[in-house]
Structure 1
Amino acid sequence: MRLVVGVSGGSGIPYALDVLRALHVLGVETHLVVSSGAKRVMAAEGGPQLPELTALASHVHEDRDLAASVASGSFRTAGMLVIPCSAGTLAKIAHGFADNLLSRAAHVTLKERRPLVLVLREDPMPRPMLQNMLLAHDAGATVMSASPGFYHAPRDVDELLGFVTARVLDQFGLDTPSFKRWKEETA
């Protein structure tokens, strides 16, 4: 399986790191695109940094490289996820504005009718953002919030991140074995 993973400038880079770790363990080929906004957020928040993300990716593409493989519909993937997805990136995707590789790859994913998962972390959500979420949904994207559940009695932040990762990967038919599902016993 081959997935495109976009990381945009929303707060929540630890979500991206956790997803990349899980995909790496599952042996999924990943094509990572990190926006310039995400790089600024990494510097400001002091959490996971670019080398940690790129070390887990199979391939890394520069966001300004609109000639990269993931910019073409003929490059086959199982879909794309954007985690975290900033309000600005959401707006670009919702309106088909493909001015960087991340938004172009998302456009191609929708164009080819492949799964596109946008994981938003920003709150509160103003009306334009809600409208953009609906536009993205109507275009074929799955819009999710980075909102962990608590029924699995998480013991730490890693388990909260893992909850969101498992729900995101569910959208691609991928299973994270350690995830405790509602009313299911873990193996």
Structure 2
Amino acid sequence: MVGERKKKIIVGISGASGICYGVRLLELLQRVDVETHLVMSRSAKITLGHEMDLKVSQVEALADQCHKADDIGASIASGSVHSLGMLIVPCSVRSMSEIASGVTSTLLTRAADVVLKERRKLVLMVRETPLHTGHLRTMTRLSEMGAIIAPPVPAMYAKPETISDLVDHTVGRLLDLYDIDVPEVRRWKADKS
């Protein structure tokens, strides 16, 4: 049918600690009918070597399309490319700050800027603590611009038994923001006793 197109979502992975969240996000997205576009920062590739026993090529293989961080001419740098939006998981303070200022230096932050200007959904899993006032002001500015700030905060009501349980629940809740449901999310059920 003319005009029909497969849904696309952009996944950014920055160099912040917690790269397992971004990898798991890509794994879960493979189970749904959404085309994934991945861009990893140079720092993310370094962090991957420190935090996981995976190669960059293995992470890239989880996405439908991969874009180099320095390829400012990539399709996801244009608002004419339709997408559901973008998640940056994890999101470093540097990437967050570039997006908030609108002065972008890589495809990761340029794609996020485009998502905001097109009024699409941008979710930033900011991975930093503690936060100083400058961080909080930057997050407020981004929220006012339409971004969703979603740090990885564990939900203990899900009774996680492993780190993987924590990661799955957190990533699943991010996907909820795009109406993408995955069975890894354990939903809150109030005790009726």
Interval of TM-score (by shorter of Structure 1 and Structure 2): over 0.9
Q: Are 2:64 and 1:58 equivalent residues in the alignment?
A: yes
Counterpart in the other structure of 1:44: 50
Q: Are 2:122 and 1:116 equivalent residues in the alignment?
A: yes
Question: Aligned with 1:151: secondary structure?
Answer: helix
Counterpart in the other structure of 1:141: 147
Percent of aligned pairs with the same amino acid: 40
- Find 1:157's aligned residue among 142, 163, 187: 163
Contact 2:26–2:62 (8 Å) recurs in 1:
yes
Aligned partner of 2:137: which letter? Q
Contact 2:23–2:59 (8 Å) recurs in 1:
yes
Counterpart in the other structure of 1:104: 110
| 1:29 CA drift (Å) | 0.6
- Unpaired runs of 5+ residues, structure 2, are 1-6
Pairwise CA RMSD of aligned residues? Answer: 1.2
Tell me the matched-pair count.
184
* Distance in 1 of aligned mates of 2:20 and 2:52: 11
TM-score normalized by the length of structure 2: 0.92
Counterpart in the other structure of 2:4: none
Counterpart in the other structure of 2:182: 176
Following superposition, which runs of at least 4 residues in structure 1 exceed 6 angstroms of deviation? none
Counterpart in the other structure of 2:100: 94
| 1:52 CA drift (Å) | 2.6
Counterpart in the other structure of 1:5: 11
TM-score normalized by the length of structure 1: 0.94
* Distance in 2 of aligned mates of 1:43 and 1:126: 28
Contact 2:39–2:67 (8 Å) recurs in 1:
yes
Larger Rg: 2
Q: Deviations over 1:60-107 (max 9, x none)?
A: 000000000000000111100000000000000111112110010000
Counterpart in the other structure of 2:80: 74
* Distance in 2 of aligned mates of 1:47 and 1:107: 31
